[in-house]
Structure 1
């Protein structure tokens, strides 16, 4: 026993492992609180597996639920959920840093390394300043969103309930969580421009990334933006436009989704459904009635997800963009991968390939396992798995019907998706010292 304790004490707590433990600790704490009878309206415990699934969905800002958030949870339960969403959206190290600064504690080098890993930064320069900006920007944007929501919710529900609805949905939307307390997401408000466009705006802004805000605020003009910001804005715009057009074409004559809406409502609903896979689990049409082609479109959008250093999930827009640019460079016969007259390093391309491959292997493997443990169509299970991995929260109705094994598998999938597949791989891999030699080059045939 003494030898085991000694080995545990000697385990190197590198930044990826600290992040894994931090998010895991938040999930476990949330599960304990949500498992309390006081959290459920029927006065009975929901069961630890269901509580842990909901806590993971909250901390990982996913939005998948096994019970209806509006009807099952008490005010205590809803407050726990929204606090977990806020903590998960900001990141536990961001909150820990702010708390440390408030009490005058110095941020150590090790803590800065963890912050660097969490915010996906290349250097440690200005990390504390960036952390302060992340918190200030988050609360400011959520406040604006809550103010816009209040113009609709207060007249509907009264002052106190209207404010609570406004704050809850503003946090849930900006953190790309997708939890709602209206009972049926945004379906009752499918034609409401204020509610729909506010949610879309919060999701888009939340999915751009905090470093993009800083760059836009500093340089103002597109030509002066960094390559990262240019790629994020370009890819995000392209996905939103293409997603809206394709969804409209696929569903405009489907009487169970867009068919019964007028032209303006169809366009609004199409834009909304193209936005939410970026990665928030709100919906304004019946998800179970979508055509298979629309479901597959949303799987693609969910897998790509948001952008680095944001509240969004998925493999990230720049990862997808880097691989597309690399493919185009091969087709054109170019040696370098170039975007906006800037060369993208092969380290970035290799990292992008690793992220996409890990993501694909994870989604395919989990989907395969769920076909064994669950009684549902494969496309629905693939949709559910992608939604969990990309921390989206959209579902075709499979979530409440999952077995305990399925819930545990998707809980871990949400966890892996939130901390990042590459971060998880680094956390469990052994650190190897760089070698000072190169092997001779070999040749293989591909394609």
Structure 2
């Protein structure tokens, strides 16, 4: 019997536990032994459950000091404690699987090197795009390809908001309330709508793809918190659609990495990714592009990726990463043609404008090809709620 422990028993923890039990015999055939959850860490033990209460503990020491537990699945969502849990587990020669994108993105290189040193697995497929199998294939692709671009829609909440503003012709605030009622958005949705969640995922993907540490602080971000019906209607009337896109590119000068609203035409592969769905595209020298799309969140969707990682860890079916490149961050030099909707109380330098449309209390501007930082320098003294910016990427 192979004993494992779960840290956290929320939505993902419950999904993981159910998938493990439902597929117990199939998993046994693959790993050549019975995989059994023998401990579950839970902060509050005063709760109702059909499971044996002896499974649960509120003391991490009960798990870390159990030498028979070979693998720990971290699903707490707590950055400070999860760092300690993962570090101590690896140092105690226990394999680690985590769904916690925040802790992976913050301590990616440290955990990777520590796991290698202790000859255990550190796997995190579910930390990016939930059920989408992208981390493991990306590792394999990076071995035989020079991957030069990673692009995708990595946050289901923001994609739901943008999709339903268009579909239902609603204001941002109304669709946000709908998403919160459905459980798609947190009470405080800042990380989702301002691109922080997608940034963390892009950091992980880019580091693997480019074989170089691309840190959170190296990635630019601008979100969708100031978008309005005016913007959505303008895009719709022009057969365009806006998505919160995460993208990293690599060339001989260095890399750029950003999360921002991007305006797409109908022939773009991201155009029809709607609702809470995610997509990831990778571009390498052996092919034009590879992509994987599907549901980016959910109990069983995320739990599915967690269980695959558990199997891979126990079978030692994983690739050790090497971060052997020193790349220059060129993100501040990014250029593009930008959409700007701004209150008619304000203006920007005429030399940046390609064309302009008056729309009631707002002005819609299409810029010339300009440096992104020049545009945002023009906007720095204007309240963020008074404007919305998106980059045109029209094929």
Give the TM-score normalised by the residue count of structure 2. Answer: 0.26
Task: Write 1 or 2 for the structure with the bigger share of strand.
Answer: 2
Q: Structure 1-normalised TM-score? A: 0.23
